[in-house]
Structure 1
Amino acid sequence: MGNREALLAGAKTCLLEKGFDRTSARDIATTAGVSLAAIGYHFGSRENLLFQALFAILDEWGDLSGRVLVPPDAPGLTPAQAYERMWDELLAQARAQPKMWLASMELFMQAQRQPDLLPHLTDGIRQGRSGVTAILTSTPEPDVPERSVRTLGMIQLALMSGVIMQMMADPEHPPTGADVIAGLRALSEITRHLPG
């Protein structure tokens, strides 16, 4: 592994352990086992290195989540049962990888403070919406209608972020897939009676 790769791996480790603001350039260099000057040579600054590490973590989190979203190969499950199982697996993954999920939230926070990051985050969110919609509708991603991405994809990502955030904030009462299904059914009943 070269210095660049070692620094990126070290930055990811530090982000997961300490977070963005508490990670110093020295922490990264020490974790990577390379000189402090290598950060400037390969990445220009601590911030640029940490941003690249955050995006790498977000990609890993997206890959893990995407695998969980793929409907289980379990004949006999109704669509609602398969969706409930998907939620149980997604929540279990978030419990098993809390630091990775928190790092993805940190990227959102940093993008609000660093305008140069926002277009990259926006692109990632758009890709996430499209990918989630393709998985949930069993449609090849290039064929997913934009309207479905803007509705189903947006709501699914919002649910995922919100439910996981609540689970992290109240670990004594973690939500379940059954809770999500029941909540969606209750919302469906409420919206059924909305005018027009």
Structure 2
Amino acid sequence: MGNREDLLAGAKRCLMEKGYAGTTARDIAAASGTSLASIGYHFRSTKALLNAALVEAMEEWGKEIEHALAAEAPPGATPLQRFEATWERIIESYIRLRPLWAIQFELIAQMDRLPELRESFASANREARLGLAALFENLDPAVDEKKAMAVGTFYQALLGGLATQWLVDPESAPSAHDLVQALHTITAGRSGPTQPDTPSPTAAGTSP
């Protein structure tokens, strides 16, 4: 690898071990086997290097999620069984990629002091939601972008919320089977999807 690639690899290792705020230029130089001057030459600043390393790490995380979703469910599996199998694999990825999830929450807490990262996260959010809709439900935003965005937002909330519980207390964090049981409870008695854009007879001032 060249110095630039070495710096990115070293910065990613430091991010995993020390976090974003705890990583210094000297840490990266030592981890990458390069000089402090090479950081300025290739990236201008340590912050720019860390941001680039974070983007690469997030891309690797995305590939990990794709890999988890690409694994085939057992033949004849029901939709709920496929759902459970998928989330079992995602939970395994939480365990392997725990430092990367921790960094994301660290950065969210510092967002007001890192406006450039806020902009990066905000612009990436839209693409992430559409990507999740395609990965989980094979929804094409070109066909129905509003639906894809809503579904992607739901999965983004589920991924982040579950990751929080695994970071804070993995011993009592829900399993994939727990998610299925919760889904059963939440959907019990609901015969079909609601139509939020259609006013109810009461709200419209009319009788049934």
TM-score by length of 1: 0.88
1:33 aligns with 2:33: yes
Name the structure, 1 or 2, with higher relative contact order (CA <8 Å, separation 6+).
1
Within 2, Cα distance between the matches of 1:72 and 1:113? 43
Q: CA deviation at 1:35?
A: 0.8
- Counterpart in the other structure of 2:8: 8
Shift of 1:110: 4.5
Give the residue type in structure 2 aligned to 1:20.
Y
Alignment partner of 1:188 is 2:187: yes
Q: Distance in 2 between matches of 1:190 and 1:122?
A: 37
Matched, 1:76 2:76: yes
* Deviation by residue 1:136-163 (Cα, 9 ceiling, x = unmatched): 2234x45452112221110111001101
How many matched pairs?
194
Aligned sequence identity (%): 38
CA distance in 2 between partners of 1:178 and 1:68 (Å): 16
**What is the match of residue 156 of structure 2?**
157
Partner of 1:88: 88
Q: 1-side partners of 2:146 and 2:71: how far apart?
A: 22
Does the 8 Å contact 1:88/1:176 carry over to 2? Answer: yes
Deviation digits for residues 61-88 of structure 1, max 9, x if unmatched? 1110122123624221011110111011
Q: Which has the larger radius of gyration?
A: 2
**Partners of 1:151 and 1:86 in 2: CA distance:** 20
Structure 1 partner of 2:144: 145
TM-score normalised to the size of structure 2?
Answer: 0.84
User: 2:6 touches 2:33 (CA, 8 Å); kept in 1?
Assistant: yes
- Whole-Å separation in 1 of the counterparts to 2:166 and 2:116: 31
Counterparts of 1:45 and 1:190 in 2: how far apart (Å)?
A: 57
* 2-structure distance, mates of 1:40, 1:65: 33
- Deviation of 1:191 (Å): 7.6
Distance 1:35 1:73, change over 3 A: same
Query: Partner letter of residue 26 of structure 1?
Result: R
Question: Which ranges of structure 2 fall in alignment gaps of 5 or more residues?
Answer: 201-208
Aligned partners of 1:35 and 1:181: how far apart in 2?
A: 51
* Structure 1 ranges of 4+ moved more than 4 A: 189-192
SS in 1 for 2:133: helix
Asked whether the equivalents of residues 7 and 34 of structure 2 are also in contact (C-alpha less than 8 Å), the reply is: yes
1:26 shift after superposition: 0.4
Alignment of 1:112-127 (within 5 A): 112-127=112-127
Q: Distance in 2 between matches of 1:65 and 1:162?
A: 16
In 2, Cα distance between equivalents of 1:58 and 1:144: 27
Q: Is the 8 A contact 2:73 2:82 kept in 1?
A: no
Aligned equivalent of 2:64: 64
> Aligned partners of 2:143 and 2:58: how far apart in 1?
23
Structure 1 alignment gaps of length 5 or more = none
- Corresponding residue SS for 1:116: helix
